């Protein structure tokens, strides 16, 4: 595929030649050039990428559309509300939508319960997404997760066995007010939207607001800080809604998962102290297996460990709180990437991120 | 630990070319963080063991394109909210990354971890000499405090002379 010159007969010694090499032949071509001592330079590493980028969105080849909903795009809150209603409508035998509570700005928080009818009481796995507004890949993952389960539970033996013994509770967006604010006003907003100091500053970091060594480390009492922990443990309605519910079900909850970005980490308790939790060995073993499975998909590497040791100290996190009230397996996932795009992860990474995390 | 001076770190790093993922170069570095909270930027010495690929032609193309513009280039929000960057603005994004590197270096301590979150604004300023000048407002995310703060930084760039931060 000659790009310059266009015809082989116009090739001249001593002049530049531009040629496109198909991906599987790149190494062979490089070896051959080296062997013949012909120097070269890679002008465009990935032609397909440039082509895709310059195409109008609709014609991009990697679109995951299921039931009319595009899972490979980021969706505003109104669309996520509609999606939840649709999901319950289309999968009524398995999915029910429930009210968890209300946000500060009085929006309804819904969670989805995925539960196969059975006469035995099942243990519960809880997963929440979007506690921090700017981490858009997180709600995208919760939606993808639900879709995957519903699409494959009849045919995938792993998933159907899962659902025979476990119920899944998924909260696609915890910090709804903040998420909407990040769409409309400030893409890099993190906290909730409750006002403090007579409206001179807004928002509590909901992941510093739980009653786990609240206010002790890695927080700020200044309401303009991005890690403002609120006026007291569970001072925020969103925190209370989640805490109340989890407390009421805690004897049946096996695993608490909270999804964030970015960093590519699986974090175990605690953030408020380096003293390891009582079941640290089990926590670490499960997390390491998860990280290995994740890496196996696309080679994305994840680090595993306690927050206080591998990230930073913080108190009042939902993960610490869940463990402290007795939920044995409690994890924070920090999804892609490691800083190249950070919070602004391009939508074309939704699919691979979600696939590997599944 | 270096008495009366600070903490010195010896690093072995692998540089990966963002535009050519196969291409890696190893380098070694020494970083000295000075004592005291109101300290200055860390001292950094880097040695690159190998060759960085030549970008002569792409540099020339970009340089000529900017010089040919009738109106100074102005752009905002790179990447946009959905993580997209128009292909022609990729070089601007890369230059912003370089400029951010300088700001991050000047503000780093052993307890900070910065990343460029977004280029909020960039304005080209026409110059009488051969350099290109870009005035950036970059948003830097700091991991420990979780703050995202804007920083103004002016970058000068020339295909042969490379990138320099202008002291405004």
Q: Which two tokens stand for residue A339?
A: 């800083």
Question: Do A178 and A88 belong together in one domain?
Answer: yes
pLDDT of residue A354: 95
Q: Which two tokens stand for residue A347?
A: 């939508």
Q: What is the DSSP string of A21-84?
A: --GGGHHHHHHHHHHTT-----S-S-HHHHHHHHS-GGG-S---EETTEETTS---HHHHHHHH
CATH of the domain at A350: 3.40.630.10
Q: Which two tokens stand for residue A180?
A: 């909407």
Q: Which residue range is the domain that position A36 belongs to? A: 2-42
Residues of A in contact with B18 (CB under 8 A): 340
Q: Residues B13-22: pLDDT tens digits?
A: 999 888 787 8
Task: Name the residue of chain B whose CA is nearest to A345's CA.
Answer: B83
> From the list A54, A312, A342, which residue is nearest B141 (CB)?
A342
The Cα–Cα gap between A331 and A318 comes to 9
Helix%, strand%, coil% for chain B, nearest 5:
20, 45, 35
Question: Do A9 and A99 belong together in one domain?
Answer: no
CATH 3.10.450.10 residue spans of chain B: 1-53, 54-167
Q: Residues B90-135: pLDDT tens digits?
A: 999 999 999 999 999 999 999 999 999 999 999 999 999 999 999 9
Contact B116 A342 (CB under 8 A): yes
Question: Do A329 and A255 belong together in one domain?
Answer: yes
Residues in chain B: 168
Task: Name the residue of chain A whose CA is nearest to B150's CA.
Answer: A188
- A15 noted as active-site residue: no
At the second CATH level, the architecture of B1-53 is: Roll (3.10)
Question: Do A20 and A94 belong together in one domain?
Answer: no
> From the list A54, A226, A347, which residue is nearest B87 (CB)?
A54
Residue A60 inside a domain? The answer is no
Contact A344 B145 (CB under 8 A): no
Do B138 and B151 meet the contact criterion of CB atoms below 8 Å apart?
Answer: yes
Residue A72 inside a domain? The answer is no
pLDDT of residue A228: 97
Residue A295 inside a domain? The answer is yes
pLDDT of residue A278: 96
Per annotation, catalytic residue among A135, A234, A236, A334: A334
pLDDT of residue A59: 42
Mean pLDDT of all residues in B129-152? 96
**A159 near B CB under 8 A:** no
Question: Do A125 and A205 belong together in one domain?
Answer: yes
Q: Which two tokens stand for residue A225?
A: 């800080």
Strand order in the sheet with B148-158: B74-78, B114-125, B132-142, B148-158, B162-166
Question: Do A130 and A227 belong together in one domain?
Answer: yes
Residue A66 inside a domain? The answer is no
Residue A199 inside a domain? The answer is yes
Segments in chain A below pLDDT 50 = 59-61
Query: pTM score > 0.95 for this model?
Result: no
pLDDT of residue A56: 53
pLDDT of residue A42: 82
The Cα–Cα gap between A199 and B38 comes to 33
Contact A188 B21 (CB under 8 A): no
pLDDT of residue A60: 45
The model's confidence at residue B39, banded by pLDDT at 50, 70 and 90, is low
Contact B141 A344 (CB under 8 A): no
Contact B143 A312 (CB under 8 A): yes
The model's confidence at residue B40, banded by pLDDT at 50, 70 and 90, is confident
Chain A closest CA to B128's CA: distance in Å?
Answer: 31
Interface test with A, best of B77, B83, B94 (most A CBs within 10 A): B83
Q: What is the overall mean pLDDT for chain A? A: 93
Question: Do A7 and A152 belong together in one domain?
Answer: no
The Cα–Cα gap between B84 and A73 comes to 12
Q: Which two tokens stand for residue A192?
A: 């909730």
Contact A344 B117 (CB under 8 A): yes
Q: DSSP class of residue A185? A: T
Q: Determine the CATH number of domain B54-167.
A: 3.10.450.10
Question: Do A163 and A301 belong together in one domain?
Answer: yes
The Cα–Cα gap between A347 and B29 comes to 35
Number of structural domains found in chain A: 2
The model's confidence at residue B23, banded by pLDDT at 50, 70 and 90, is confident
The Cα–Cα gap between B153 and B106 comes to 12
pLDDT of residue B114: 96
Mean pLDDT of all residues in B150-161? 96
Handedness of CA A162, A168, A173, A175 (dihedral sign): negative
Which distant-in-sequence residues (6+ apart) come within 8 Å of A293 by Cβ?
A: none
């Amino acid at each position: 595929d000659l790009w310059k010159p266009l015809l082989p007969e116009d090739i001249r010694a001593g002049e530049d030649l531009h040629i496109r090499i198909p991906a599987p032949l790149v190494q062979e071509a490089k070896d051959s050039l080296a062997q013949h001592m012909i120097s070269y330079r890679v002008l465009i590493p990935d032609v397909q990428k440039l082509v895709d980028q310059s195409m109008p969105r609709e014609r991009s080849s990697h679109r995951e559309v299921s039931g009319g909903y595009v899972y490979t795009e980021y969706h505003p809150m109104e669309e996520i509300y509609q999606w939840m209603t649709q999901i319950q409508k289309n999968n009524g035998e398995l999915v029910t939508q429930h009210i968890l509570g209300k946000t500060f700005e009085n929006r309804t928080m819904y969670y989805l319960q995925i539960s196969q009818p059975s006469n035995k009481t099942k243990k519960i796995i809880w997963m929440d997404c979007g506690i921090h507004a700017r981490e858009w890949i997180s709600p995208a993952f919760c939606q993808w997760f639900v879709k995957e389960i519903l699409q494959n539970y009849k045919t995938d033996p792993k998933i159907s066995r899962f659902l025979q013994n476990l119920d899944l509770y998924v909260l696609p967006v915890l910090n709804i007010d903040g998420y909407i604010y990040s769409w409309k006003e400030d893409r890099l907003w993190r906290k909730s939207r409750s006002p403090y100091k007579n409206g001179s500053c807004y928002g509590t970091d909901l992941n510093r607001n739980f009653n786990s060594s609240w206010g002790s480390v890695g927080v700020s009492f200044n309401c303009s800080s991005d890690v403002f922990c609120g006026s007291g443990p569970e001072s925020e309605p969103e925190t209370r809604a989640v805490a109340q519910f989890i407390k009421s079900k805690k004897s049946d909850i096996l695993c608490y998962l909270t999804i964030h970005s970015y960093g590519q980490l699986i974090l175990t308790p605690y953030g408020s102290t380096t003293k390891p939790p009582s079941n640290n060995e089990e926590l670490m073993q499960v997390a390491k297996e998860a990280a290995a499975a994740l890496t196996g998909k696309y080679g994305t590497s994840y680090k595993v460990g306690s927050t206080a040791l591998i990230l930073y100290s913080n108190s009042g996190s939902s993960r610490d709180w869940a463990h402290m009230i007795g939920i044995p397996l409690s994890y924070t996932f920090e999804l892609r990437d490691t800083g190249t795009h950070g919070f602004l992860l391009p939508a074309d990474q939704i699919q691979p991120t979600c696939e590997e995390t599944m | 630990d270096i008495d009366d001076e600070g903490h010195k770190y010896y690093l072995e790093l692998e540089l990966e070319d963002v535009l050519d993922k196969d291409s890696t170069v190893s380098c070694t570095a020494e970083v000295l963080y000075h004592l005291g909270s109101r300290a200055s930027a860390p001292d950094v010495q880097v040695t690159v063991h190998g060759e960085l690929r030549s970008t002569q032609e792409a540099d020339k193309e970009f340089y000529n394109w900017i010089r040919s513009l009738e109106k100074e280039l102005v752009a905002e929000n790179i990447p946009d909210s959905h993580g997209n960057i128009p292909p022609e603005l990729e070089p601007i994004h890369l230059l912003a990354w370089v400029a951010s590197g300088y700001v991050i270096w000047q503000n780093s301590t052993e307890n900070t971890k910065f990343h460029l979150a977004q280029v909020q604004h960039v304005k080209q300023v026409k110059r009488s000499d051969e350099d290109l000048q870009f005035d950036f407002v970059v948003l830097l995310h700091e991991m420990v405090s979780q703050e995202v703060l804007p920083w103004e930084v002016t970058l000068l760039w020339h295909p042969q002379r490379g990138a320099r931060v202008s002291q405004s």
